[in-house]
Amino acid sequence: MRNPLNLPKKLYDTVVLTPDKRWERSGMTEELAVMHDDGRESIVPLFDVGIASVKHLGTRGYGDERNPEGVVHTDLFLLNDGLHRLAQTWIPHDIQAQFTATSGMAYTTMVEGYDEERAKRLAFMGIPNIQVSAEQGDRHLPCLSDLRRLGKTALLSPKISLAKSSQAETEIIAYIINELYMLPQLIEAHGDSRGGLTSIGRGVYSRLAMRDGTSRYNLTPLWLDPKAVVLHDRLPADRFHEVIEWLGKEALGSPPVIAELAVERSLLSLRGTTSINPNFLLASLIGIGPALLSGETGELVGMLPDDIRGFANGYLYDKLYDRENWQEGLRPYPNLYLNEVDKAVHANLLSLRGLHPQMARLGRLAIESREHGANLAGYNVPHIAGRDQWQFIVQKNTASAAA
């Protein structure tokens, strides 16, 4: 008997397209073949997400008002796909890392709020970092101009894909690093939930070369650090009820997380995390949401460079954590560690318990970057991840992890 929470299969397949059909709808302009060391061939889709315009919205200091630790630049980007994205760039006066950290936003969240709290912590550690919003994540509150562009948002949002979002984030980050603020071209990519998935995409697109062999974006991916990763493969129509059940379970699991933040006096970090702007909500509902169910994530994982390094977190009580497929998908990458957190629901991405270990990893990465710079082979990946070499070998089930 069909579960009443499931959508009719024909309707579901129209909304939740397979990756190749979603990329076609998203306006894929060409495909780039990438060969892997094990003989695999990946086809990376490319999109016209060039920057149409940039508007600088302001600069402020952070830290002590009389003696600020650094500055934050806010810039609004309009890309060739017709959608807006907001970026915040945190630049310490005393930079202690030879890389730039980059963050994509979780589903329905903005650059302010809890992700800004992480950005601020990184900046206080001396790590320059860039936050890039999701599509139409430029304003919290609607104004008259937002209502006028609502029809355009409805028209363009079904063309959103995770691959296109990842390339767009890479395009913006490259422009900020190379054209606006001259930051280190080695990049670290992190994010939670949706932002964790686009961080994987940033690892793909930042490595791409032009047909003449030169770097497409003049960036080099150094480290990935996604948290609360969810679906790896496409969710079939007959399992859509799991999304509804997941929402209910997360609603029940969230109050203890909020209580934990209250005890730690960190509730104020959530201010500005969400938006009621109808353009942002519409883009999230009819564009980003279906893209998260489409199976693009697994395709992006398969496109990663063979020597990619990093640490990915899956939460075992998160009903949409696609455990077996994540384990298998990351197995070919000897320096990409999958950490599985017991008794954690999706809402735990807000928890400081998950943030503190990540800050420790990025702190160790900063130290190693000062020693090794662009010599990627010199980085001690197990040490950065907080794991020993044997744990990598056991997880990958291959001696190649020791290479």
What are the structure tokens assigned to 94, written together? 């005393």
Q: What is the pLDDT of residue 401?
A: 40
Residues 170, 202 contacting (CB under 8 angstroms): yes
- Domain assignment present for residue 217? The answer is yes
pLDDT value for 398: 53
pLDDT of 47 reads 97
Query: In this predicted model, what pLDDT tens digit does every residue of 74-89 receive, in sequence order?
Result: 999 999 999 999 999 9
Tens of pLDDT, residue by residue over 204-241, are 999 999 888 899 999 999 999 999 999 999 999 988 88
Q: Bigger pLDDT: 262 or 128?
A: 128
Neighbouring-strand partners of residue 194: none
- 1-15, 23-37, 352-366, range with the lowest pLDDT: 1-15
Q: Looking at mean pLDDT, say which of 64-73, 182-191, 243-252 comes out highest.
A: 182-191
- Domain of 43 in residue numbering reads as 9-402
Output the pLDDT for position 403: 39
- Nearest of 128, 111, 130 to residue 69 by alpha carbon: 128
What is the pLDDT averaged over residues 8-15? 90
Integer Cα distance of 296 and 233 in angstroms: 7
- DSSP for 11-51, please give it: HHHHHS--HHHHHHHTTEEEEEEEE-TTS-EEEEEEE---E
Residue 122 tokens read as 């990184």
Instruction: Confirm whether 389 is domain-assigned.
Output: yes
pLDDT above 90: residue 256: no
Condensed to tens digits (0 to 9), the pLDDT of residues 155-200 reads: 999 999 999 999 999 999 999 999 999 999 999 999 999 999 999 9
| Nearest Cα to Cα of residue 251 among 316, 319, 192, 314 | 319
> 327 lies in a domain?
yes
- The secondary structure element, H or E, covering residue 330 is helix 323-330
Please give the average per-residue pLDDT across 252-281, as a whole number: 75
In three-state secondary structure terms, 187 is strand
How far apart, in Å, are the Cα atoms of 319 and each of 94, 241, 314?
42, 11, 11
Taking only the tens place, the pLDDT of each residue in 127-145 is 999 999 999 999 888 788 8
Given the structure tokens 């299969």, which residue do they identify?
A: 9
Task: Determine, yes or no, domain membership for 37.
Answer: yes
- For residue 325, what are its two tokens? 């497929």
Backbone angles phi, psi at 220, to 5 degrees: -135, 120
Residue 4 lies in a domain: no
Is the residue at 3 inside a domain?
A: no
pLDDT of 275-305, one tens digit each? 889 999 999 999 999 999 999 999 999 999 9
Q: pTM for the whole thing?
A: 0.94
Helix (H, G, I), strand (E, B) or coil at 119: helix
| Residue 1 in domain | no
252 pLDDT band, cuts 50/70/90, is low
Compute the mean pLDDT over every residue in the chain, rounded to the nearest whole number: 91
CATH number at residue 24: 3.40.50.1820
Beta sheet of 220-227, edge-to-edge order: 51-63, 68-79, 84-92, 129-132, 100-104, 186-192, 220-227, 310-315, 336-341
Whether 80 is in a domain gets the answer yes
Q: How many domains, the chain?
A: 1
Which pLDDT score, from 0 to 100, does residue 265 have? 61
In this predicted structure, what is the pLDDT of residue 399? 41
